[in-house]
């Protein structure tokens, strides 16, 4: 329309109402997505490594294979861990329904991209949407190509794959919330020695010193061993 052309077609345009959404990882994001999907008329299945209480009528399945084989749309919401690296690979694509769709807005290492490219080219996967990648450019204006990922050109040439530059949380509201969260984390560390949420230190949580402990102080000492092994020492004096 912006080019002045009227091209009204409905070929391969599907409703999501009545379809099944499979959520891998039922944490805060996965659970919220579950509620939104049900509101739009979708059936929701989810897989998680721990047993969780479902919201609405969502149903937890016992295995990843069970979720993949029943879902029309599959979305990943898991952290980056050794256990989640390439958790969606060739074997998992073979277990999916023919013509299913994959969404990954969690971590780039979760999906084996060459396996995804093959699944899309063969028609096993009808389409995909990716917001994260194993290796990402350092800044705006940098190239996303074979110099960064050997499959970069092949992925970019797939017409039925939506690619976005890791902007899933890049809203004005989200950026403000991140700023507040970082500030609060720094205050907790300075006041209490708590490192919950730290990316380069072990997570330690300690109680706050109370007003009836005027003669107590907490000394925090961060030091580094060889091989970049870091520890945090918390001493009560």
Sorted by where each begins, the domain ranges of the chain are 20-163, 172-236
- 196: tokens are 């919950």
Contact criterion met (CB below 8 Å) for 87 and 110: yes
The mean pLDDT value for 206-214 works out to 64
Residue 74: predicted pLDDT: 99
Residue 220: predicted pLDDT: 57
User: Would residue 150 show up in a list of annotated catalytic residues for this protein?
Assistant: no
Q: Say yes or no to pLDDT of 99 above 90.
A: yes
Spatial separation of the C-alpha atoms in residues 227 and 27, rounded to whole Å = 33
Q: Considering 166, 192, 218, 231, which one is annotated as catalytic?
A: 166
Neighbours of 121 (CB within 10 A): 13
CA-CA-CA-CA torsion sign (131, 133, 139, 143)? negative
Contact criterion met (CB below 8 Å) for 56 and 45: no
Spatial separation of the C-alpha atoms in residues 132 and 177, rounded to whole Å = 21
Q: Give 15 or 234, the one with higher predicted confidence.
A: 15
Residue 214: predicted pLDDT: 62
User: Would residue 176 show up in a list of annotated catalytic residues for this protein?
Assistant: no
Q: Considering 107, 213, 218, 231, which one is annotated as catalytic?
A: 107
pLDDT in tens, 128-182: 999 999 999 999 999 998 999 999 999 999 999 999 999 988 899 988 998 999 9
The mean pLDDT value for 34-50 works out to 97
Residues 6+ apart with CB under 8 A from 22: 45, 46, 47, 67, 68, 70, 71, 73, 74, 75
Q: Say yes or no to pLDDT of 229 above 90.
A: no
Spatial separation of the C-alpha atoms in residues 109 and 149, rounded to whole Å = 12
Spatial separation of the C-alpha atoms in residues 157 and 155, rounded to whole Å = 5
Query: 20-163 sits in which CATH class?
Result: alpha beta
DSSP 101-134: EEEE-S-GGGB-HHHHHHHHHHTSEEEEEES--S
Q: Which residue has the tokens 């749309």?
A: 73
Give the CA distances from residue 177 to residues 180, 185, 198, in Å, rounded to whole numbers and listed in that order.
5, 12, 17
Spatial separation of the C-alpha atoms in residues 186 and 96, rounded to whole Å = 44
Spatial separation of the C-alpha atoms in residues 21 and 72, rounded to whole Å = 6
> What SS3 state is found at 12?
coil
Spatial separation of the C-alpha atoms in residues 80 and 34, rounded to whole Å = 21
Nearest of 98, 109, 105 to residue 162 by alpha carbon: 105
Q: Say yes or no to pLDDT of 222 above 70.
A: no
Residue 219 pLDDT class (50, 70, 90 cuts): low
Spatial separation of the C-alpha atoms in residues 77 and 83, rounded to whole Å = 14
Q: Considering 136, 176, 181, 203, which one is annotated as catalytic?
A: 136
Give this prediction's pTM.
0.80
Give the CA distances from residue 141 to residues 51, 77, 119, 219, in Å, rounded to whole numbers and listed in that order.
43, 28, 30, 44
User: Would residue 166 show up in a list of annotated catalytic residues for this protein?
Assistant: yes
């Amino acid at each position: 329309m912006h080019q002045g052309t009227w091209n009204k077609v409905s070929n391969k345009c599907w409703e999501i109402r009545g379809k099944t959404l499979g959520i891998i990882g039922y944490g805060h994001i996965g659970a919220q997505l579950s509620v939104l999907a049900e509101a739009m008329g979708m059936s929701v299945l989810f897989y998680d490594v721990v047993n969780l209480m479902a919201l609405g009528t969502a149903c937890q399945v016992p295995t990843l294979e069970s979720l993949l084989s029943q879902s029309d749309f599959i979305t990943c919401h898991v952290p980056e861990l050794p256990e989640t690296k390439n958790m969606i690979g060739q074997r998992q694509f073979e277990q999916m329904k023919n013509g299913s769709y994959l969404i990954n807005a969690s971590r780039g290492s979760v999906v084996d991209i060459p396996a995804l490219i093959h699944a899309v080219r063969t028609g096993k996967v009808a389409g995909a949407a990716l917001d994260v990648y194993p290796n990402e450019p350092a800044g705006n204006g940098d190239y996303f190509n074979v110099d960064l990922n050997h499959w970069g050109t092949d992925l970019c040439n797939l017409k039925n794959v939506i690619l976005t530059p890791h902007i899933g949380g890049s809203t004005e509201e989200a950026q403000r919330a991140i700023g507040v969260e970082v500030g609060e984390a720094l205050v907790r560390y300075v006041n209490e020695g708590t490192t919950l949420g730290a990316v380069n230190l072990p997570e330690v949580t300690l109680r706050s010193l109370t007003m009836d402990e005027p003669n107590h102080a907490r000394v925090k000492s961060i030091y580094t061993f060889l091989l970049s092994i870091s520890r945090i020492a918390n001493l009560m004096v």
